[in-house]
Amino acid sequence: MAIELKNLTKKQLAELIERASSRSRELDIAELDKVRADVRAYAKSKGYTIEQLFGGRGRKGRRSKAAPKYRNPADPAQTWSGRGKRPRWFNAALKAGKREKDLLI
């Protein structure tokens, strides 16, 4: 199937590009699905599940929720694990003269 591109308008070209991109994504997804099915079938033939081989379906590199390490003395419901940006209450306590070890749980 040959398409004469010189005879197409800009709008028609944009439509053609969009349809071609969409079809390309569909083919990629179909190929990935086939590979996944092949891998599952191979693992099953050897007596394993994907979860046994790869440790579940969690995202790679994702950390688990950390236990609280610091507690706000003014409001014990406010805690912080020590990960990420310091909460406002933590910075305010430091400015008020508290030390990090004073805020430990």
Instruction: Judge contact between 103 and 70, C-beta under 8 A.
Output: yes
- Is 88 a member of any domain? yes
CA-nearest of 57, 66, 71 to 103 is 71
What pTM was computed for the model?
0.46
- Kindly state whether residues 43 and 78 are assigned to the same domain: no
Structural domain includes residue 61: no
Tell me: the pLDDT tens digits for 12-54? 999 999 999 999 999 999 999 999 999 999 999 999 988 888 8
Q: How many domains does the chain have?
A: 2
41, part of any domain: yes
- The answer to whether residue 64 is domain-embedded is no
Q: Is residue 21 part of a domain?
A: yes
Per-chain mean pLDDT for the chain: 89
Q: Which residues pair with 80 in a beta bridge?
A: 70
What secondary structure, in 3-state letters, does 50-62 show? HHHHHCCCCCCCC
CB 16 within 8 A of CB 22: no
Does some domain include residue 39?
Answer: yes
Q: Which residues form the domain of 90?
A: 70-103
> Is residue 49 domain-resident?
yes
DSSP element (H, E) containing 32:
helix 10-45
